[in-house]
A and B are shown apart, each in its own frame.
Chain A
Amino acid sequence: MTAAPAAPAEPEDLNALDDEAFRLHVRRWIEANYPPELRHPPKRLHWKDNKVWYFKLAEKGWLCPGWPKEYGGMGLSPAKQIIFTEELERWGCARTNDHGIVLLGPLIINYGTEEQKRYFLPKILSGEHIWCQGYSEPNAGSDLASLRTEAVEDGDHYVVNGQKIWTTLAQDANWIFLLVRTDKQAKKQEGISFLLVPMDTPGITVKPIINLELHDEFCEVFFDNVRVPKRNLVGQINKGWDMAKALLGFERIYLGSPRQSAYALKGLRALAEHMGVWEEPEFRDRYARLRLDLEDLKAFYGVYVAKLRRGETLGPDVSMLKICQTELFQRIADAMLEIAGENAGLLGPIEGNRDLNPTGLYIQARPATIYGGSNEIQRNIVAKNVLGLPG
C-alpha cells in the first residue's frame, strides 16, 4: 500500500468551497478511509458489517450531511449534499443503517420538541440508536394513507396494535418510527400520527422476510398491545401524514441518481466483452441506445440538481426522474441477461468474478420500480399533479 497523500487541513466551511473543490475534498477522504473490502457490496449490508463505516463517518463529523451544524450535522446545502452522495455512490460505499440520519433526524429537527432533539439526535450521531421505518402495511402499500396500525390513548400512553411490512433492516434496529392511525373517523390522511418506539418494548415481534436476492433485508414487524409513552409522539396528533410526506420528495431525487445505471452499464460492457459480443453490430446498437439513455438521464438529473442549487424546492415532476432511472437500470440488467447465454441461469457471478454478475443485477433491478413509491404511483403523480389530468 502506498501512503495516502497528506490530507489538507479541513476547511472551516465546506459550503464555501466551489463544487469541484468540494467534490475532490470529499473524494480524497472517502478513498483513504472507506474499507476496501466493502466496496460495491452485492447485497445491502447488515449493521454488524456496515457499522465500521458508520463510525468512521461519525468520527469525521460527516455522518449527517443534511443536518444543521448546531445539531452535529455538516450543514451542507442541498447541492453539496447531492455531490456528497454522488461521491459515496461513485466509490461503491455501502449504505449504512441510515434511517435515523436521512429520515428521522430531519423530521425531529423540523417538528420535534426541544427535549426530543436533545435526547434523540446525539444518539443517532453516536450510533447508540439505530432506527428503522414503519410505514407500509400488508394492505397499505401504494395506498399508504389507508394504513390501519392503530394507537389508542390510555392514560399517558398510546397502545399500538397492528402490523408493518417491508421494514428495512428492522432486525438491526433498536428504535422504530411509525405512522399510526389515531383517528378512525377522520379522512384517511388526517387521522395519522407519528410515533417513536423502542424495539424492545413488550409486544413487538420482528420476522425477517427473505427476498429474491435470498437476503433478509426486509422484515415484518408485529405490534400486540405495545405501550408507548405519549412523549414519544412527534409533532401534533393526527398531523403525521403531512410531516412524513414532506420527506418523500427528497427520496425521489436520490432514487433518480444516474449512478446505479452507470454502474450497471459498466457491468454490461464487461459482460459483452467476456461473451465476445462487444464488437457485434446488433449489440453495439443496443449498447449505444442504453448509453445515450444514460447520458440523457444524467442531463435530466442535472436539471433537478440545478434547481436545488438555486434553492428551489422540488415539485412532483421529480417523479419523472425516478421512473427514468429505475427503468433504465432494468433495461440494462435485462440486456445483460439476454447476452449471457446459459450464464443467465447461474445463482452466482460468472467464474466467481463479481464484475460479471448478470443474474445478481437482474434480480436486484426488479424492486427498483416497486420501492420508493412504485412507478405506477409515480406515473399517477405525473399525470395528475404535473399534467393536471383528472381522476
Chain B
Amino acid sequence: MDKGKKIWRKNLIKSLTLGVFLFLLSFTFEPYNQGQLALVLMLFIGVLSLTVLTGASGQISLGQGALMAVGGYASASLITNLGASIWVGFLVAVSATAIFGLILGTAAARVSGPYLAGTTLVIALALPSVANRFESVLGGDVGLIVDFGTPPAWISNLIEVGYEQWQLWVALPVALTALFFTSNLMASRAGRSWQAVRDDEIGAAVSGIPVARTKVIVFVVSSAIAGLGGALYGLRGLVGPSVYPVSLSLTLLTAAILGGVGSIAGAFIGTLIVVFLPDLIDWAISGLAISEQFSNYLPSLLTGVLLLATIIINPAGVMGAGHRRKH
C-alpha cells in the first residue's frame, strides 16, 4: 500500500472513530449540551476553513463569517424557494462559495497581510447592505428562515430523537466529511505546496510552484469549506446578516488561535473552548451574587483575556504547546 493510501485510510479511521464517539456521546448528553456540541461541529468547519487558509497558506482572513454567510444564503435560498432538502443545500452551498471564493481569491492573490485581512473584513461588513439590496431573494435584514427539520420517519419510529440531538446527528456527518477532506488535503502534495508558499513565497516559486495560482486555489478550497459550515450554521433557525456578523469571523479566528493555527486537532480544541467557556464561567459564578448586566459579558471578557494570554505566552496555541513538548 502506498503512503498516500495509508494516510487516507488513517484519516478515515480517525474521522469515523470521532464520529462514533460523538454519536454515542449524544445519547449521554442533555439537550442543551447536544445543541452545544452541534454548535461546536458547525463552527469547527468554519475554523477548519481558517486552518486551510491561514495555517496552510499563511493568508489572513477577518471575514470568514461572510464566506459562511454565502454558503448559508445559497443553501437557504434553495431550501425556501425550491423546497430542496438540506443535503442538496449543502452541496449547493459548497459550490456557490467555491465560485465566490474564486472571484474573491483572484483579487485576494494580489494583496497580502493586513490588506487581505482588511479586504475580507469589508466583505463581512458589507453583508447587511447586500442582503438588504436583494431583499426579495435574501430576505433583507431579517433573513431566510430555515431549520434542521425533523428526523425522517424511519428514524423516529425506531427511537425518540430530540431537536438538539437531531441537529447533532445532521452536523456530525457534515463535519466529519470536512474533517476527512481537510486532513487528507493538508497531508497531500497540494497541501505541502501550500505550506511552501506560506513559508517562503520566493523559494516556492523557485521550486516551480505557481504562487498566485496556489493562493487562489487555497482561497477557493477554504471558501468552500466555510460555505459548508455556513449552510449548517444557518439551519439553527435563520440565515440573515445578524447570524453571520463580524463577531462570528472573530470567534472563528479566536478558536483557531487558541487551538493553534494550522492544526486540525487544534481547530477542534479551540472551537470546544469558545463554545463551552461561557458555560464553564456560568458554572463557576453560579453561586456568586453577580448582576446579569455583568455576568452576561463575562464570557466575552474572559475569552478576550484568554486570547491575549495565548498570543503573548503561547502563540502556537494548545496544539502548538503539545507539539513543542513532544520534541
A binds B: no
**B residues in contact (CB < 8 Å) with A:** none
Interface set of A (CB-CB < 8 Å, partner B)? none
